[in-house]
Amino acid sequence: MKEFQKDLIDWYIHNHRPLEFRLKKDPYEIWISEIMAQQTRIEAMLPYFKRWIQQLPDIESVAKCDDEKLNKLWQGLGYYSRCKNIKKCAIECVEKYNGKLPRTKEELLKLPGIGPYTAGAIASIANGQRVSAVDGNVIRVFSRLYDICEDVTKTSVKKQIEMLVDESLPSKEEISYYNQALMELGALICIPKSPRCDICPIKKYCEASDPASLPYKPKKSARKIEYKHVYVWIHQNKVHVVKRADTGLLAGLYGFDETKPEHIIESIELKPYIHIFSHVEWHMDATLCIVDREDSNYKTIEEIEEYIALPSAFMPFMKQVEEYLWKK
């Protein structure tokens, strides 16, 4: 092993967080946890992961699972298309690979929802294949190590970094540790702001002249603002929910109406709420409408909690409605 690899792995062995989902090295569990970890802090995604594995212990159970139930298990995690892709991928694994994930990065890459990072993570961590797993942490570590000042959001620069990582890989015996060590270094030491260079185990290899300024990413353009009026229809102890379109923002999840119901008995203004997505802000006013008749889209609070996937954007209104029904 090269000195650089040894320094990094030694540090990792003594300093890494105990990430239980990577200990078992079960490809299925690595896959689910990596997809979940892509958009959330580890602590936030952990309860989701535990619940998912408990209810869906293998790929076949995912392939058979109802979309509504999968969405409910994913509710609040964001980037819901990942959940949809997990199901597509599970079905493909059942059809083509006997209910297992394929073993190599190259084959994994062909599956829906699995890109270069996830393919590399599964192949190297679960199967010991000597391939890279370049996530945002690794981009940051390598942009600093090699003082790469170009825009890392460009595909060409990412490719360049991936090549440097590929050249740095140790033998297959150490590959799992090595890839995790790079990510863990990025998570604990080589952090975005105020990197902790004083205690960095690989600082003697680092060429960054101003580490805190790397990696360079151009400013994102301003979000566009959309104004919405949400009408929460209720009848007796039930709330009206509607399934959203299967493309676009929050596809296939549930929400509230954006039209007034007929037969209103009483209207109550709710507290407005601004929900911020990456490119859009929803500035929402909301009205609670008490309606004197019912249809099949009215659900009790218990039914909503049990199987209606309601994204975070609507939660503040849901909370206010719960409060209203509870007081009544």
Q: Please identify every residue annotated as catalytic.
A: 34
State the pairing for strand pair 264-276/238-240. unpaired
Alpha helices in 169-255 (DSSP H): 175-188
Q: For residues 119 and 291, which CB has a smaller minimum distance to DNA in the complex? A: 119
The answer to whether residue 168 forms part of the interface with DNA (CB under 7 A) is: no
| d(C-alpha 44, C-alpha 24), whole Å | 20
Q: Map the footprint of DNA across residues 2-41, applying CB under 7 A.
A: 38-41
CA distance to 233, 254, 314, 323, per residue, from 239 (Å): 6, 12, 13, 13
Could you tell me which stretch among 18-26, 262-270, 278-286, 319-327 binds DNA (CB under 7 A)? Answer: 278-286
Q: Which is nearer to DNA, 36 or 291 (CB)?
A: 36
The yes or no reply on residue 160 touching DNA (CB under 7 A) is no
Closer residue to DNA, CB minimum distance, 30 or 77: 77
Q: Which is nearer to DNA, 7 or 162 (CB)?
A: 162
Q: Alpha-carbon distance 178 to 237, whole Å?
A: 55
DSSP H/E element including 321: helix 315-327
Cα–Cα nearest to 168, from 7, 3, 12, 5: 5
Task: For residue 244, give the DSSP letter.
Answer: P
The candidate with the shortest Cα–Cα distance to 231, out of 275, 265, 267, 263, is 267
Q: Which stretch binds DNA (CB under 7 A): 21-29, 47-55, 62-70, 152-160?
A: 152-160
| Candidate segments 171-179, 257-265, 277-285, 316-324, binder of DNA by CB under 7 A | 277-285
**Binding status of residue 140 toward DNA by CB under 7 A:** yes
Q: What residues from 57 to 96 belong to the interface with DNA (CB under 7 A)?
A: 76-81, 85
| Among the listed residues 103, 92, 111, 99, the one whose alpha carbon sits nearest the alpha carbon of residue 35 | 111
136 is a contact residue toward DNA (CB under 7 A): yes
The least CB distance from residue 236 to DNA, in Å, is: 28
Least distance CB 158 / DNA (angstroms): 8
Q: For Cα atoms 214, 33, 24, give the angle at the middle one, nearest 5 degrees.
A: 115
When asked if residue 155 is in the footprint of DNA (CB under 7 A), the reply is: yes
What is the rounded CA–CA span in Å between residue 142 and residue 157? 11
Question: Of residues 281-310, which lie at the interface with DNA (CB under 7 A)?
Answer: none
Q: How far is the CB of 169 from DNA (least distance, A)?
A: 17
Q: Which residues bind DNA (CB under 7 A)?
A: 38-41, 43-44, 76-81, 85, 111-119, 135-137, 139-140, 153-156, 192, 217, 219-221, 247-251, 275-280, 311-313
